[in-house]
Amino acid sequence: MKSSVETLKNDYFIDVRIVNMLFLKGHEKVDEQRLAALKAEIESDGILKKPIVVDVNTNVVLDGHHRIKALQALGCSKIPVILVDYKSPKIGVKTSENGKEYSKHKVIEAALKGELLPPKSTWHYIACSKEIVHISAIQKPVNIPLEELK
């Protein structure tokens, strides 16, 4: 029997690719302390452990803003991405910024206009049969050496 996450991968996961970061559009700013810690971890490990999640239709980053900035700071130009269809009703967004509500439309608009939302203000999820899981549940380890991402 498949787990909920395995079913999600088959139903909403489109593709994994290594892409040039120039094509990606973030919707959130990053937290500098979190960024510094992640950069140090990635540099120490010498690998990127997990891909990021990106909308296939708009190239908007749904999960992974800090990984992008950390890799850029380490001289990388490419990153592995999991492409999903953000239009799917099974993919949603919750907000965590002082009760503000951000819709999918607002997320896309912020990214396309370059008017970034505060760090960690959105929480993207995938709806399973009776639960929701963070979108990172579809991210399998990739463990790609940094040299391959330069």
pTM summary value: 0.89
Domain ranges of the chain: 4-139
Q: What is the DSSP letter of 116?
A: P
Asked whether the predicted pLDDT for residue 33 surpasses 80, the reply is: yes
Asked whether the predicted pLDDT for residue 2 surpasses 50, the reply is: no
User: CA-to-CA distance for 144 and 137, rounded, in angstroms?
Assistant: 19
25 vs 22, 47, 53, 105, 106, CA distance in Å? 8, 23, 11, 14, 13
Nearest Cα neighbor of 62 from 12, 111, 132, 23 is 111
Asked whether the predicted pLDDT for residue 5 surpasses 90, the reply is: no
Grouping H, G, I as helix, E, B as strand and the rest as coil, residue 133 is strand
Encode pLDDT of 50-101 as tens digits: 999 999 999 999 999 999 999 999 999 999 999 999 999 999 998 866 667 7
Residue that the structure tokens 């996961």 belong to: 13
Residues with Cβ within 8 Å of residue 113, at least 6 apart in sequence: none
CATH dotted code for 4-139: 3.90.1530.10
User: CA-to-CA distance for 16 and 53, rounded, in angstroms?
Assistant: 9
**Full strand arrangement of the beta sheet holding 13-20:** 13-20, 78-84, 52-55, 61-63
User: CA-to-CA distance for 22 and 121, rounded, in angstroms?
Assistant: 23
